[in-house]
Chains A and B, each alone.
Chain A
């Protein structure tokens, strides 16, 4: 079974702190994604990566950065946490289907990290 793990289930930080959220997948997937989930807004894509050291902005990248130094690990960084970044953060990974059945790749999700910024 594919497993996507996230470093914490719950996290409480203070405004202005630097926050690291870690995500690790064990199935050699090329693609990795970070979303935030908020009531009434569904899932919104923050950043994604389709290869080591590659990153692309999603729909709401402001206030976030990412790092992908190894294929299995994708980190989300909040450089200076703010209260409006209080949310559930979900990491996902998928195989790259480029050149084959493009667009049919299932995303596998981690359990999520509920971040509260005070």
Chain B
């Protein structure tokens, strides 16, 4: 079945460091791919998405490119801030009628000042 695997956390970085959170997926067909973020005490919110191969999603300085050949959707940011501390979820939607999304287990990110 369809699945998402992302790197386990926690990931701890200093402010202004470069961030990569790896995500790979298994899916039949052509899924849409997402990154969601959960700030402390809040629900999840969409960070960025890509709907077809080679698309790049971007938002708030974060980027991820839909790589079909490597079945990956790695999240990157050039210079992280303390306010980026959160849990990040990679996810896919396989396009079925029910619009379900399959989530990875989440990666907790700590940014030190």
Q: Which residues of A contact B (CB under 8 A)?
A: 4, 31, 33, 40-43, 45, 48, 50, 56, 58, 90, 92, 94, 96-98, 101-112
Contacts and interface: CB of A to CB of B under 8 A. Distances in A.
Interface residues of B, number: 25
Interface of B: 31-32, 34, 41-46, 49, 51, 89, 93-101, 103-106
B51 A101 contact: yes
Contacts of B101: 107
Contact of B32 (A48, A50, A103): A103
A103 B89 CA distance: 17
Contacts of A31: 98-99
A21 B91 CA distance: 25
Tell me whether chain A's interface is mostly helix, strand or loop, or mixed: loop
Contacts of A48: 98, 100
Contact of A109 (B32, B45, B95, B97): B45
B98 A104 contact: no
Given A90-B43, A109-B44, A102 B97 contact: yes
Which 9 A/B pairs are nearest by Cβ-Cβ distance?
A103-B95, A109-B43, A42-B105, A103-B93, A102-B95, A43-B103, A109-B44, A105-B99, A103-B32
